[in-house]
Structure 1
Amino acid sequence: MAKTDHRPASLPTVQAGGGFGAASSGQGKVPPPAGAARMQSWFIDPGTGIRQRMPHPVPVNDDNEPTGHVRHLCPKKINANGGGTTACDTAAWLLPGETAPFCPKHGEKLQPPAERGQSAIVAKAAVERYGASLWPWTLPAAGGVADVALSLADTGVSTLAAAPVLAAGAFFVTKRTLTRRAVKRGRIEKGQRSGRRVWEIRRKAVDAAQYGAEAGLWATAFAATDAMALPGLLVWAAAMARWAIGCKRWWDAAEARRLRGVPAPVAVAQPEVEVAAAPDPVQLRAESTWATIIGCNGGPLAGTKLADFRRLPNCPIRASERTVLPNWTATVVAANPGTINMREQRPLLLGRIAAAYGCTYADVSFTADESDLGVAYLRVQPDNLLAEVKMWQGAGASDWKKGVSRIGRHDDGADIRYTWWTSTGAAHDLISGCTGSGKSELVAQLLLTSLHSDGLVLDWVGDPQGGQSYGLLKDAVDWFARDKTEITLMLLAALKEMLRRNDELAKNNIKTWRPTKDMPLLAITLDEVQSYIDDPVILDLVEKLVGQGRKCGIKMRLITQVPAAYNLGGSTYIKEQLKAGQTLIFRAMTDIAGRSAVEGDCPIDPVQLPARWGKHTCNAGETTAGLMFVQGLNARDVYGRSDYTGDDMAVWLADPTPGVFGPEAQLESGVLWGDRRERVKRLLAAGRADEDLLPGGKAVELIQAAAVAAATGTVVRLSQPAPEMPGTSRDVVLQAAQAAAGSDGVVTKKAIEQATKDMPDGTRNGALTDLVAAGKLRRIRNGVYEVPGGGRQEAPTASGAESAV
């Protein structure tokens, strides 16, 4: 049975006569293949610098040098006009490793040129390079062949006539040839008998006649002697000497033509010789991958190329026990300067680069040049140096004269700088990240740092989880609040201290606060803030402190998993004030968390960060805890990793020097600060109250309902919320929302604020939160609500909706 080969269908881009981006039969201009700048019929030889012409267009780069593409042809032979066969004109230029397509006319797979033997390659290269120098060798070869032929033929014909015959023949052939060539080029006219150029042709013809006559004389001598006898050998030796002397001028001219255009050799120092060595295979792979996947048409950064490539050091940890891949960096530039904004939002860029080079998302760094947005800097580090765990450097990692601490390092080795205060006051913090990303370890490092601040930083911490993540630190800080009520008291004491400091600075005509031991930086850390900031009182206190505390040295540090406004009490004001300081972003689990954490034009996506290090790093498979991104103060568009304080923090608590809450501050705070430690003891002894588990004491109602159901055998059902007393803030906000809502029941927060101008922002925000929880309002998106049952018939204005969004 005959076997049928099923060939795949040809690609839609195949065209006869030179498809796949390269023309082989001159059928118009064809776009170059991927990885080439253009197609042209000549190129510059990289080895000699000589321009070489080709019988068909070839792909070249921007320097007119040939690329690594190989021309594939259809092996099918077709009938040619006039008889015989010729090759099919379908061709394609492909990079090594690319799959060859099939000819659309014959279905044959395109084939690369046949491999030739080493001897044929050497011979062809020798002819191309030294062809002009080989022509004089035809004279002795022809003389030898003629002598042998005459000897074998034994015709008896005298060779005395060889000299005049060759002289006359050389004269007329040379004159005729040079005359026709000069007429064709327009140098002389047909039939011209005088002139400098005519005399030049005659002179060359006379020279040729002399050469012919001499060649005839030597031929006569060859014929008259026996090459195997002594006289014949002497004749041949004399002839070869004369031939070598006469051909020297030819060889000199041929060598000058061969070296024409080649720069003269220049003596260079040894380092320059090393640079001119063979190309780096890592660089070739990096540049070709970028050209064919990233910077090509349709790529994530089309129209760009790599420049200034250089290797980066590898991680030395266990280098002999694992496969070490090279790290490298390069500059990304536009092929046409000024056509690309490197800072433009490209959310998939880092992932595409990581996939192209076979590494993880955290191994790629892409940052735009702040002084030239048409240039960016790329680092690809499959052997990521951040995988090595670096221990915290202790008290020596801070410069308290400038209010700056080192908390880790970026992927290029530069320090991650954390700012405690600036020239205008305290610097707030917003720290976000999912569980296990390392944010609690960073906060522990910051608390340990402030405990060694030489009295310039005082720490208050609020954590509804009781300080489980902080260990010994909860007893080392000045105030640790472990529940919602104690956090409220702590914030109230901070508000009173803020007002006292305002009066103290104003009384002494001090415009700008500076940290001192009498008035240290008060750093308030609120962990898991989303679980209690919806309380109207806490929300109002936080808004006042983030807005006004900075000027008098009160620093707010809020920690949450999702840094969206709805996790900050629905207050965009709090988020704006915090992001004006510094934002420390760890790995996120959801797109909402990632988008809420970073700015829109930032190339970083926290969701894409891996939870484990890649297989080629020194800690393959280990957690990436501590991997983070910094925005705001000291911001960079690259990742870094915080240092690790270790499992035993007791070694850092041997000799702390934290700030002190002064006598005037204690007097102002009164029982709030003075009884804080006794309240903690009483709270621990009493245990947690059921009233604090759910808002409005709902947990107590459910427990009581469960007890009744257990006694009576009935079913537990949620009780209806108690009716509110008329005239409360929620009634006022609800009435304002109903009055301002359109026919579709939609109302903006701005419209509600305009209708309740006299109400404090914290009270209004708390009322909105309670109304949403009670189902009397529904939040469509941030700043836009829906009133169940509709509202008035007028629709909200477009400007109001846009400003609210």
Structure 2
Amino acid sequence: MKTENRPVPLPNGGPPGAPQQGRARQASRDLDGKLLLPSGAVSFSWHHAGPNGQTVKARRQPVPVNDSGEVTHVEWECPECPDSGQWFSAKSKIERPLCGICGVRLHKTSDRRISIPWGRLYRDHTGSVNSAAATSLVGMAGVAADVADLSLAGEVAQFAAIPAIVAGSWWMTRAWLRRQAETDEELTRDTIARRARGAGYLAAAAGLWIELTDVIGFADHAAVALTALFGLGVVGSRPYRRWLADRRAQALRPPVPLDDEDDLYDDTPQPSEEDLLREYVLARWEKVSAKGRVLHGTSLENIQASVGGWSAIIVAHDDSDLDPEKFDMPEPVRKIARAYSVGTSMVSIIADPLDANRAMILVQRTSPLSTGSRWNGDGIDLTTGTAETMTLEDGNRGRHPFWRPGWGALMELIAGCTGSGKSEYVNLLLALERKSGRVVSWVGDPQMGQSLGDVRDGVDWFAPTNEEILVMLRTAVTVMLARNLLITRMRVTETRPDGTVVQRRVKYVEVSPDFPLLSITIDEAHLPMNDPDVGKEIVKLLALLAKSGRKANVKVRLLVQSPLLSELKDSVLRAQLASGVVTVFRTADRLTGPAAWPGGKMPGDPSALPAEWEDGTTAAGVGYNSATARMRMRSDYAGDLWDVMTRGDTVSLETAVLGAAGPLYADRWKRLEAFDNMDPAEILGAGIPSNLLDSAPGDTTPPAGGREAVLRFFADRWLDGDRDPVQFGDLAAAVRSVIKTRACTNAVNKLAGEQILDTDGRGGYWLTESGAEQIGVLDEVMA
């Protein structure tokens, strides 16, 4: 697929430092300075297609090209901001864009001139240059003496002056250092004597070198001699300078204790583990928070050790270029993982629900989710209606709510692809319901309960077919209405402030043995809801129970692979379920999670959750739960449930509603026994039920509907932050493996008519904000 990224309009001018409008450009290099391939390009190449069809070779670096060999992007950089390289479209009409950080005009990387850093070279080799210069000066003095051609008396006087020069150098050096010692305590008597002797030695060597130059006669070849002396000074000074550096390093090195007893008297304060951790974390955070980096303008607070790593609070300041809503986007997570040398799965960023400028970060080499936990056998806390069912990423335990005291039943939606762990989690929830003694559990499974195991025999009603599920839901609605009538007839005695005793009506009855919670669980719910014969009525009954069952202590729990409308069929039903408790395990695509999550903004991408860990063990049960902190969790492993599901009495409906439930409820086990005794050939009839094929194990392909395929395409682009129009030809090519071009045309026209998509009239289409809100991805990426 070839997608054209149109450049965002930039301001034509403005004062320096004025920020540019539009979304951020693509960085051209990573933290190590390596070129990053921009979106729209297929590779880097040293050769590209020129304007007249000829092949052109790049001058300084390879350039990004498309399938046709044409240059797609040009790298620009800011002369003021370090590491500020950005990709701009090669088709952009802007002559010189502005830097989004300091407002300075950018220039192309290819126009940058190569300059020699003379100043830095001199600073790095100051010692060698000074040694060579001193040697050359001595040689120049010798050449001058040779040129002077003094008489014998002059030569003798010149030679006799050497001792005086040596003595003068020694005396003057000692006198100058003694004066400096008045303010410098490091200049001891031994140090002054040693340096004075060194000055005398150098003076003697210089004098003898001058005389040797005069005797040999270097005047005839002065240029050659001085050049040779310069090189000799560089090479000859290296052993001396190395020895001098070793002496200085040894003087600065702390003394080594003579024995272990000396350590007892070392009162030097040692940094604590907390201080060392803080120093390590902050030093590496500078790599991602420096100016021009993805997390520029952020800092860390409350750094502390966590399970398997460390945790902190990210704070975005006013000068941050990062939208706080993008803390947990792939790019920041990738940069943080590189800075701390960990995998991206080991980095978790959890946004603060009360402050958009703060987020919690967890970096863990060993996650508490990697091993998981077994259910400890504890049941539901009857005072709160919750139970411990999971381990959170920070090592704390998470609780799953079944009902809310004083409020009623909580609806539930559990989503996840095959093998993600949702069936095992449901087994745990059903075991908790049975053990509580307060819950009547009804279960419908069109796959005939194979994944439930012993749980099937421990529930009050099990429906193995779509037809039996319909009967069960009809009975549930009847029970709900009967409870509503009974509640309206109830009275409670109350004494008013004036002492009058009155009988007041009741609005809600708490969950108790006399008024248990009726929990209806439908596994693979999309199968009965899409049944051609009974599906429509099943959807209506589920929507009615989800909307009106709360006050009658009736809850609905649906298990689906994808909570999109193509499977749930009813927006009211999906909204009611999402307002309760949502659990999302690993999904097959990025759209499933936001469509199910309350508000659309998930703590992370469920399609990126691992199927297994690095050591090959399964990661089933890893997901997100809306009733806990905004971080990953792993559900407990239920284990062997035989004792829980077979011992003790199964909670059934209260006596007051048995008449309303009628014979359909009374004969439920007879029908199940008859079903179990039927010949498989009689159950299957002419062949395999077609709806079972839709959820074959391992099948994670999206629905073949044109509308669904187009929405998934635009949802993925929206989640990636790409809002540019897409030409219909590119769209049709992208979804061609799923739907035909005609189906794509019909879907686009209908979506445009519903204002989910918009068009420029020239074949370009894009997802509108209202459309993003309808499919549940509006808050996933902020503009």
Amino acid at match of 1:538: I
Query: 1:398 & 1:662 partners in 2: Cα distance?
Result: 20
Aligned counterpart, 1:682: 674
Query: 1:389 & 1:143 partners in 2: Cα distance?
Result: 69
User: Given the alignment, which residue of 330, 335, 349 partners 1:366?
Assistant: 349
Instruction: Tell me whether 1:291 sits opposite 2:273 in the alignment.
Output: no
Query: 2:323 & 2:606 partners in 1: Cα distance?
Result: 22
Give the superposition deviation at 1:477. Answer: 0.3
Spell out the pairing of 1:351-390 with structure 2 (5 A cutoff).
Answer: 351-390=334-373
Query: 1:506 & 1:625 partners in 2: Cα distance?
Result: 45
Preserved CA contact (<8 Å) 2:274 2:304:
no
Query: 1:518 & 1:336 partners in 2: Cα distance?
Result: 58
Amino acid at match of 1:437: S
Spell out the pairing of 1:490-509 with structure 2 (5 A cutoff).
Answer: 490-508=472-490, 509=505
Matched position secondary structure for 1:607: helix
Aligned counterpart, 1:731: none
Compared with structure 1, are the counterparts of its residues 432 and 313 closer, same or farther at alpha carbon in structure 2 (3 Å cutoff)? closer
Amino acid at match of 1:132: D
Aligned counterpart, 1:529: 525
Aligned counterpart, 2:541: 541
Q: How big is each residue's C-alpha offset from its partner over 1:220-259, in whole Å with a ceiling of 9 and x where there is no partner? A: xxxxxxxxxxxxxxxxxxxxxxxxxxxxxxxxxxxxxxxx
Q: How big is each residue's C-alpha offset from its partner over 1:361-399, in whole Å with a ceiling of 9 and x where there is no partner? A: 4422212334433222111111111112311011x2431
Preserved CA contact (<8 Å) 1:350 1:603:
no
Give the superposition deviation at 1:800. Answer: 11
Compared with structure 1, are the counterparts of its residues 389 and 568 closer, same or farther at alpha carbon in structure 2 (3 Å cutoff)? same
Aligned counterpart, 1:736: none
Amino acid at match of 1:304: T
Can you give the 5+ residue segments of structure 2 that lack an aligned partner in the other structure?
1-58, 64-75, 85-111, 132-178, 202-265, 491-504, 695-742, 755-767, 776-783
Instruction: Tell me whether 1:409 sits opposite 2:391 in the alignment.
Output: yes
Aligned counterpart, 2:554: 554
Preserved CA contact (<8 Å) 1:462 1:526:
yes
Amino acid at match of 1:663: T
Q: How big is each residue's C-alpha offset from its partner over 1:610-663, in whole Å with a ceiling of 9 and x where there is no partner? A: 11123xxxxx221111111012xx2422001111111x2213335445432123
Amino acid at match of 2:638: T
Aligned counterpart, 2:574: 575
Query: 1:586 & 1:533 partners in 2: Cα distance?
Result: 21
Query: 2:465 & 2:376 partners in 1: Cα distance?
Result: 33
Preserved CA contact (<8 Å) 1:517 1:660:
no
Compared with structure 1, are the counterparts of its residues 140 and 371 closer, same or farther at alpha carbon in structure 2 (3 Å cutoff)? closer
Compared with structure 1, are the counterparts of its residues 275 and 517 closer, same or farther at alpha carbon in structure 2 (3 Å cutoff)? same
Q: How big is each residue's C-alpha offset from its partner over 1:66-121, in whole Å with a ceiling of 9 and x where there is no partner? A: xxxxxxxxxxxxxxxxxxxxxxxxxxxxxxxxxxxx9923599987946999xx9x
Amino acid at match of 1:328: W
Aligned counterpart, 1:637: 630
Matched position secondary structure for 1:544: helix
Query: 2:482 & 2:363 partners in 1: Cα distance?
Result: 53
Spell out the pairing of 1:370-769 with structure 2 (5 A cutoff).
Answer: 370-394=353-377, 396-422=378-404, 423-453=406-436, 455-508=437-490, 509-534=505-530, 535-569=535-569, 571-598=570-597, 599-614=599-614, 620-631=615-626, 634-646=627-639, 648-653=640-645, 655-656=647-648, 658-686=650-678, 687=680, 688-690=683-685
Higher mean C-alpha deviation, range 380-389 or range 657-666: 657-666
Compared with structure 1, are the counterparts of its residues 489 and 410 closer, same or farther at alpha carbon in structure 2 (3 Å cutoff)? same
User: Given the alignment, which residue of 284, 296, 299 partners 1:302?
Assistant: 296
Alignment TM-score, normalising by the size of structure 2: 0.53
Give the superposition deviation at 1:306. Answer: 2.3
Query: 2:769 & 2:357 partners in 1: Cα distance?
Result: 35
Matched position secondary structure for 2:356: strand
Preserved CA contact (<8 Å) 1:589 1:607:
yes
Query: 1:541 & 1:129 partners in 2: Cα distance?
Result: 97
Give the superposition deviation at 1:428. Answer: 0.6
Amino acid at match of 2:346: D
Compared with structure 1, are the counterparts of its residues 399 and 313 closer, same or farther at alpha carbon in structure 2 (3 Å cutoff)? same
Amino acid at match of 1:580: S
Query: 2:482 & 2:465 partners in 1: Cα distance?
Result: 26
Amino acid at match of 1:524: I
Q: How big is each residue's C-alpha offset from its partner over 1:234-285, in whole Å with a ceiling of 9 and x where there is no partner? A: xxxxxxxxxxxxxxxxxxxxxxxxxxxxxxxxxxxx99944479962x5455
Query: 2:181 & 2:643 partners in 1: Cα distance?
Result: 76
Give the superposition deviation at 1:357. Answer: 3.5
RMSD in angstroms over aligned alpha carbons? Answer: 4.7
Q: How big is each residue's C-alpha offset from its partner over 1:548-603, in whole Å with a ceiling of 9 and x where there is no partner? A: 0111000100000111122102x111111001111001011212323323444334
Aligned counterpart, 1:133: 185
Compared with structure 1, are the counterparts of its residues 351 and 449 closer, same or farther at alpha carbon in structure 2 (3 Å cutoff)? farther
Query: 1:781 & 1:31 partners in 2: Cα distance?
Result: 47
Query: 1:355 & 1:363 partners in 2: Cα distance?
Result: 11
Preserved CA contact (<8 Å) 2:181 2:188:
no
Compared with structure 1, are the counterparts of its residues 286 and 526 closer, same or farther at alpha carbon in structure 2 (3 Å cutoff)? same
Preserved CA contact (<8 Å) 1:428 1:555:
yes
Query: 2:191 & 2:774 partners in 1: Cα distance?
Result: 96
Matched position secondary structure for 1:133: coil
Query: 1:665 & 1:682 partners in 2: Cα distance?
Result: 26
Q: Name the larger-Rg structure.
A: 1
Query: 1:10 & 1:592 partners in 2: Cα distance?
Result: 39
Query: 1:329 & 1:800 partners in 2: Cα distance?
Result: 37
Compared with structure 1, are the counterparts of its residues 357 and 694 closer, same or farther at alpha carbon in structure 2 (3 Å cutoff)? same
Compared with structure 1, are the counterparts of its residues 284 and 575 closer, same or farther at alpha carbon in structure 2 (3 Å cutoff)? same
Preserved CA contact (<8 Å) 1:452 1:658:
no
Amino acid at match of 1:287: L
Give the superposition deviation at 1:338. Answer: 8.7
Give the superposition deviation at 1:143. Answer: 14
Query: 2:429 & 2:195 partners in 1: Cα distance?
Result: 96
Amino acid at match of 2:538: I
Compared with structure 1, are the counterparts of its residues 142 and 518 closer, same or farther at alpha carbon in structure 2 (3 Å cutoff)? closer
Higher mean C-alpha deviation, range 381-390 or range 686-695: 686-695
Give the superposition deviation at 1:33. Answer: 7.2
User: Given the alignment, which residue of 108, 114, 122 partners 1:104?
Assistant: 114
Can you give the 5+ residue segments of structure 1 that lack an aligned partner in the other structure?
1-7, 13-19, 23-28, 35-101, 121-126, 150-269, 315-326, 615-619, 700-774, 787-797
Matched position secondary structure for 1:132: coil
Residue-pair matches, total: 478
